[in-house]
């Protein structure tokens, strides 16, 4: 770490060793008061505020006991997550895994509830089966119950499902002994009948074009606009579940039947969205997701046991644990009704992330999506993922600081220095290929520093367009790697040789001596599009 700081001292005396245009103009800073309060209505139901996290049962068929869930339960609970929303399809292993998950949750003082995935369940014919399934688990001790006016309700939710006969769901559950169900599915305003449900989950945690893709053709639907749509469609006694997600990118070619290849704008979304959540103070928040590796929005560890459908092509060596660290003070603030996470930050940490290749890198000759594939969903595109241009080639930095400090980012020898305030703040700088180093100093003395284990490269990783993010922290977190099951299909469909093994080095690459420097001070700017 010392060489890095020495080079900083050397070049911060005003010597610019390159003729690059001053990058200061490119630096974006993000202030804590950046959202528009009048856009969202603050509202409370009679239940206290709860944080859920969406958990895919469909990727954990390899778990063999409840203890295989313990680490997830403990980690989620330690962050302030109240319950996992257990997303289920109709696989043969679903009940076995639900049983393990409910048992582990009970052993770890966590709560869980079922979230029916209507990609697999049939909204037109499965209403009674949904009611039966809710009742099957409703009496277990880990089942999430919410209290409304003194009555305890069994909580249940969904992904999609508009058109489901909710009267039948309730009557079936009631006949099985559970008449009080708090049903908060992912019905859509203007599509499903919201009058028959107790609350609703909004899944769209990403800015979009109104048609499940990144903004395009001048159409931009913000996440806040989605919130507003739900809030105006729901009555004040119905509970809105506001989504929060950190990322979205997926890149499946013809090697699977559900080929899909697109991104939503992600960048600093995780930070910006939590600011919105603090202003909105919705009754419920659902983090999307814990372990959906295929769409890159996992905040759970790579080591969380799971199977692989080939998503390991873009997940291997790409831990997201730093995002959990950001969530923690924000969850505490949300529950306390606070507008800032700052008083919940108890130690200094820098969280950073970036994509690992420039977006104009050409991988056409070796990418897995350069051929025709099933496009029944309209989600398949060839080459770079649809919407890729909404992602910035930036390093994103969120310092969580107990006191103000100076943050230095050395991205491939281009060095930036920021004055970061006490508390949470966010910065982004254009990235350069090479090693990525980060440091915190106060009064000219280094407090901590680290070089990322992952370089930014101008070669195609495993030959593909990988738009997932690498998330790192200073101090460096515990090493987190995919297990054997999580790597099983890495090579499936690849056109170049690529080892299905974790390959992050144990020690970081040498940092690059800075050849140019820039400094910037914090200034409030609007969030990016
Ligand atoms: C905030 O939102 C309101 C309602 O959409 C709009 O009228 C107002 O101009 C916005 N203010 C700012 C500063 O963007
Ligand atoms: C798949 O369908 C979508 C929606 O119709 C379309 O925009 C896209 O171009 C199609 N993909 C391919 C590879 O043809």
Coil vs helix vs strand at 35: coil
Q: How many CB atoms lie within 10 A of CB 288?
A: 26
Question: The domain spanning residue 221 has which CATH number?
Answer: 3.20.20.80
- Residue labelled with tokens 């990235």: 431
Whether 122 maps to a domain, the answer reads yes
Tell me, yes or no, whether 157 and 250 share the same domain.
Answer: yes
Whether 330 maps to a domain, the answer reads yes
- Residue labelled with tokens 């099957």: 136
Q: Which residue ranges have their beta carbon within 6 Å of ligand 1?
A: 36, 38-39
Tell me, yes or no, whether 324 and 421 share the same domain.
Answer: no
Whether 526 maps to a domain, the answer reads no
- pLDDT at res. 15: 28
- pLDDT at res. 46: 38
Total domains in the chain come to 2
Ligand nearest to the backbone CA of 527: 1
End position of a domain, from candidates 278, 313, 344: 344
37 CA distance to ligand 1 centroid (A)?
A: 8
Tell me, yes or no, whether 51 and 199 share the same domain.
Answer: yes
pLDDT tens per residue across span 451-508: 999 999 999 999 999 999 999 999 999 999 999 999 999 999 999 999 999 999 989 9
Tell me, yes or no, whether 337 and 362 share the same domain.
Answer: no
Whether 519 maps to a domain, the answer reads no
Give the sign of the dihedral formed by CA 525, CA 423, CA 266, CA 155. Answer: negative
What whole-number distance in Å separates Cα of residue 159 and Cα of residue 56?
A: 11
Whether 327 maps to a domain, the answer reads yes
β partners of residue 221: 208
Whether 231 maps to a domain, the answer reads yes
For residue 484, give its domain range: 2-32+349-499
Question: The domain spanning residue 26 has which CATH number?
Answer: 2.60.40.10
Ligand nearest to the backbone CA of 35: 1
Whether 312 maps to a domain, the answer reads yes
- pLDDT at res. 28: 56
Whether 10 maps to a domain, the answer reads yes
Ligand 1 atom closest to 526 (CA) = 14
φ, ψ for residue 173 (rounded to 5)? -65, -40
Regarding the beta carbon of 378 and ligand 2, being less than 6 Å apart is answered yes
Q: What strands, in cross-sheet order, belong to the sheet with 516-520?
A: 445-451, 436-442, 405-411, 414-420, 516-520
Residue by residue, DSSP assigns 49-101 as PEEEEEEEGGG-TT--SGGGGHHHHHHHHHHT--EEEEEE-S-TTHHHHHHHH
pLDDT tens per residue across span 283-301: 999 999 999 999 999 999 9
Ranges in the chain, pLDDT < 70: 1-47, 519-529
Tell me, yes or no, whether 27 and 153 share the same domain.
Answer: no
Q: Whose CA is nearest to atom 4 of ligand 2?
A: 378
Tell me, yes or no, whether 142 and 264 share the same domain.
Answer: yes
38 CA distance to ligand 1 centroid (A)?
A: 7
- pLDDT at res. 38: 39
Tell me, yes or no, whether 168 and 268 share the same domain.
Answer: yes
261 CA distance to ligand 2 centroid (A)?
A: 10
Tell me, yes or no, whether 335 and 359 share the same domain.
Answer: no
Tell me, yes or no, whether 87 and 26 share the same domain.
Answer: no
466 CA distance to ligand 2 centroid (A)?
A: 20
End position of a domain, from candidates 288, 316, 344: 344
- pLDDT at res. 23: 35
Tell me, yes or no, whether 141 and 187 share the same domain.
Answer: yes
Q: For residue 449, what are the contacts with CB-CB under 8 A and spacing of at least 6?
A: 1, 4, 5, 408, 437, 438, 439, 440, 474
């Amino acid at each position: 770490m010392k060489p890095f700081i020495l080079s900083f001292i050397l070049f911060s005396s005003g010597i610019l060793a390159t003729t690059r245009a001053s990058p200061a103009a490119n630096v974006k800073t993000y202030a804590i008061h950046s959202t528009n309060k009048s856009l969202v209505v603050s509202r409370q139901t009679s239940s206290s505020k709860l944080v859920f996290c969406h958990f895919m049962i469909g990727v954990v068929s390899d778990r063999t006991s409840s203890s295989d869930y313990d680490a997830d339960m403990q980690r989620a609970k330690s962050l302030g997550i109240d319950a996992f929303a257990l997303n289920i399809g109709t696989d043969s292993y679903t009940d076995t895994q639900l049983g393990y998950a409910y048992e582990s949750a009970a052993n770890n003082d966590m709560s869980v509830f079922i979230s029916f995935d209507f990609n697999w369940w049939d909204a037109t014919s499965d209403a009674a089966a949904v009611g039966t399934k809710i009742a099957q688990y409703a009496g277990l001790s880990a089942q999430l119950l919410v209290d409304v006016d003194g009555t305890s309700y069994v909580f249940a939710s969904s992904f999609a499902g508009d058109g489901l006969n909710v009267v039948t769901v309730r009557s079936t559950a009631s006949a099985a002994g559970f008449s009080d169900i708090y049903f908060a599915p992912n019905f859509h305003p203007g599509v499903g009948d919201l009058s028959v449900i107790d609350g609703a989950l909004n899944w769209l945690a990403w800015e979009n074009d109104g048609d499940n893709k990144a903004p395009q053709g001048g159409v931009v639907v913000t996440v806040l606009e989605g919130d507003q749509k739900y809030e105006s469609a729901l009555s004040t006694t119905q509970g809105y579940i506001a989504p929060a997600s950190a990322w979205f990118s997926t890149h499946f070619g013809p090697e699977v039947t559900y080929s899909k290849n697109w991104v939503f704008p992600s960048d600093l979304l995780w930070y910006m969205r939590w600011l919105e959540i603090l202003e909105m103070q919705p009754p419920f928040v659902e983090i999307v997701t814990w372990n959906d590796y295929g769409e890159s929005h996992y905040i759970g560890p790579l080591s969380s046991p799971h199977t692989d459908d080939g998503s390991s092509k873009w997940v291997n060596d790409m831990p997201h644990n730093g995002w959990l660290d950001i969530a923690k003070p924000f969850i505490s603030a949300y529950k306390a009704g606070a507008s800032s996470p700052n008083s919940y930050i108890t130690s200094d940490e820098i969280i950073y992330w970036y994509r690992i290749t420039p977006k104009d890198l050409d991988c056409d000759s070796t990418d897995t999506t350069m051929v025709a594939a099933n496009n029944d969903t309209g989600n398949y595109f060839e080459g770079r993922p649809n919407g890729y241009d909404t992602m910035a080639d930036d390093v994103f930095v969120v310092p969580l600081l107990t006191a103000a400090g100076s943050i230095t980012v050395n991205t491939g020898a281009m060095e930036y220095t920021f004055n970061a305030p006490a508390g949470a703040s966010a910065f982004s700088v254009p990235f350069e290929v090479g090693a990525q180093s980060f440091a915190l100093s106060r009064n000219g003395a280094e407090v901590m520093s680290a070089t990322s284990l992952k370089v930014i490269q101008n070669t195609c990783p495993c030959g593909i367009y990988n738009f997932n993010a690498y998330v790192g922290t200073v101090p460096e977190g515990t090493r987190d790697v995919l297990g054997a099951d999580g790597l099983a299909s890495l090579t499936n469909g690849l056109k170049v040789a690529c080892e299905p093994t974790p390959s992050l080095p144990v020690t970081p690459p040498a940092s690059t001596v800075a050849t140019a420097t820039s400094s910037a001070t914090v200034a409030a700017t609007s969030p990016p599009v």
